[in-house]
Structure 1
């Protein structure tokens, strides 16, 4: 097995595959997301792709690689190209860019007859303004065309805001170090936002979990992620989202591997926000399994190692066993420091506390949280009693307001 850019949730894949007796080779793409750490342990080889597809594929052949999968978003395109070069199970290559380029993604949905957001890409802010005023209406959402993690995403309600957001995007690189040469603009999708995590094999899709995003408005008018909660598999909304998500996977030719599909449930029904052909971020596999009976990492490993066992799974592969809440840590002040282990003690003492992941070292100065990149980290709260989770969430937010980011120790 080869994993391209084994970062984020992908870091759990080597161990999951080794439990099935499968060893892994790592491949660095030319433009990895350097904001995510890479751990070299667990690989029999660690390669750097220099742009020569045939040369990289030749090394993988010598290792007897039978599958190539991305470890995170930056590895999606190269994993697909290497799979096609090696002839190993992969995804459709009639329009592979649609799995990374958000404009091409919308065009693939349009051609498949699926609901999609009105979209334009342009290097000219005035063209986007004219489109907003003639077609989409305000507000419109501007973002880089192929980035990730809410990088430079802005909701714009006026020509001035469009010009400012457009200039910011065009003068920067995305999270993968690529220069932004155009800006993507989309109609603002009003509704509740969800994500559907899946694993596919040979075109057969299995749903691992469905969660609803809850967001809050921060000073300046932007929305940030607050917390996520799951939907039971028999929830009518969950069934509607699952059906649409699987149609999206077909439209994008995601035949093999994991996917993270973000969907807005609007007045006209489910509409895609975007789909990543890789595992969803922020996962702790053992916690997901405790709550759902299955997790995306282990199911992806099963699809590779024991395809017949994977095929026997029901389409909706998860159950809701406990009540989890994924809580994004939010620094509400202009300044602060990342809390130490000692400072987090009151959080760990909450009855439903389960796990913490910090995004940066304790004591490091930090600014106000305005997006995913400025999260201090995240916390899982889990209980059999949903009211306990809600009560502990309120206490956690009070800790943040009162003292959590004041200094490195309490």
Structure 2
């Protein structure tokens, strides 16, 4: 494959899925193109390797154990004697529902729940158990280019992740570039990217800000958000992750998206059904015509079945007025309670 690509005078190689990361990094090395080294490949794909890389550079990180043994996880939890723990997949490319647990029995239940959701190759993926951290959650997106001397990292946008009482994402709110938390998290993420030896490509870092300890990396994922709502947001922000990644790999610098002048309040709102049901036609229509709703996932159609505690899709709200976005968000949650998911009852 490398020989064929070399004949085509390829100037950059970009992964299109988590499964292509290792191949992408190997091809870049074989072709002599800007890319990420083997050490970075492991650090970008495994939460255990990420914690080790941060600790080696003196960067604050959560207490975590990556293991394939449930007994070892229970022994570690007993030794740490912390109030609560989170059990999750070690592979950053595997999306599972994190379970918070406090007792050996709960750790076992969470462990088996996570293992059951891993793909067929899950036997080699491993499970991670991490201290449960209390604090506000943030998602930080970045793109890296090879740079003239050292990799050039650019934080493109920072989002506050608000969570529901069940721990699910309630909404994602774009922070202004001048916001205190955006300015505080940016230098931390730049240090994280250097510790993970990221040279090129996008990264999405989920961070918790804990009182007394500051920002702590929960998970860094080397793939952009390609969901319909994610693409709608990128269009609004005037950026294209793949285009910008190629530009950074070739030119050695990353273009900072230029936001439109004036205030921009952007919020992603996942629908959150509390019970099984189906989308009601008229209430869904009401949501579509709210003033700040600029995107509704295409699969959100009347009578589409929904499953309890599983989001069927997202909305994107946009306005120059923060109060307008907040008002529509509250209307959406009220409509859910009024019967948005009772569309199959009539």
**1:195–1:212 CA contact under 8 A, matched in 2:** yes
Partner in structure 2 of residue 98 of structure 1: 43
Counterpart pick for 1:347 among 287, 298, 314: 287
Counterpart pick for 2:155 among 207, 224, 227: 207
2:8 paired with 1:60: no
**1:347–1:396 CA contact under 8 A, matched in 2:** yes
Partner in structure 2 of residue 257 of structure 1: 201
Secondary structure at the aligned position of 2:30 is classed as: helix
2:34 paired with 1:89: yes
**1:208–1:294 CA contact under 8 A, matched in 2:** no
2:306 paired with 1:366: yes
Secondary structure at the aligned position of 2:50 is classed as: helix
Distance in structure 2 (CA, Å) of the matches to 1:254 and 1:409:
52
- Structure 2 CA distance for partners of 1:164 and 1:126, relative to 1, 3 Å: same
Q: What is the count of residue pairs matched by the alignment?
A: 338
Partner in structure 2 of residue 158 of structure 1: 103
**Which ranges in structure 2 are unaligned for 5 or more consecutive residues?**
none
Secondary structure at the aligned position of 1:233 is classed as: coil
Deviation at 1:213, TM superposition (A): 0.1
2:261 paired with 1:325: no
Counterpart pick for 1:243 among 162, 187, 193: 187
2:117 paired with 1:117: no
Deviation at 1:136, TM superposition (A): 5.3
How big is each residue's C-alpha offset from its partner over 1:230-275, in whole Å with a ceiling of 9 and x where there is no partner?
A: 2121222211211111111111111111111111111211110111
- Structure 2 CA distance for partners of 1:142 and 1:287, relative to 1, 3 Å: closer
More helix by share: 2
Deviates more, 1:256-265 or 1:399-408: 399-408
Distance in structure 2 (CA, Å) of the matches to 1:75 and 1:246:
24
Counterpart pick for 1:217 among 165, 169, 177: 165
Distance in structure 1 (CA, Å) of the matches to 2:270 and 2:341:
14
Deviation at 1:73, TM superposition (A): 2.9
Secondary structure at the aligned position of 2:342 is classed as: coil
Partner in structure 2 of residue 234 of structure 1: 178
Deviation at 1:361, TM superposition (A): 7.0
Task: Quote the RMSD (CA, aligned, Å).
Answer: 2.7
- Structure 2 CA distance for partners of 1:75 and 1:363, relative to 1, 3 Å: farther
Partner in structure 1 of residue 53 of structure 2: 108
How big is each residue's C-alpha offset from its partner over 1:355-379, in whole Å with a ceiling of 9 and x where there is no partner?
A: 011457764433102xxxx211000
Deviates more, 1:275-284 or 1:182-191: 275-284
Deviation at 1:382, TM superposition (A): 0.7
Secondary structure at the aligned position of 1:97 is classed as: helix
Distance in structure 2 (CA, Å) of the matches to 1:104 and 1:137:
22
Secondary structure at the aligned position of 1:178 is classed as: helix
2:336 paired with 1:400: yes
Distance in structure 2 (CA, Å) of the matches to 1:134 and 1:70:
40
**1:332–1:400 CA contact under 8 A, matched in 2:** no
**1:285–1:297 CA contact under 8 A, matched in 2:** no
The normalised TM-score by structure 1 is 0.75
**Which ranges in structure 1 are unaligned for 5 or more consecutive residues?**
1-55
Deviation at 1:173, TM superposition (A): 5.0
Distance in structure 1 (CA, Å) of the matches to 2:94 and 2:334:
26
**2:87–2:129 CA contact under 8 A, matched in 1:** yes
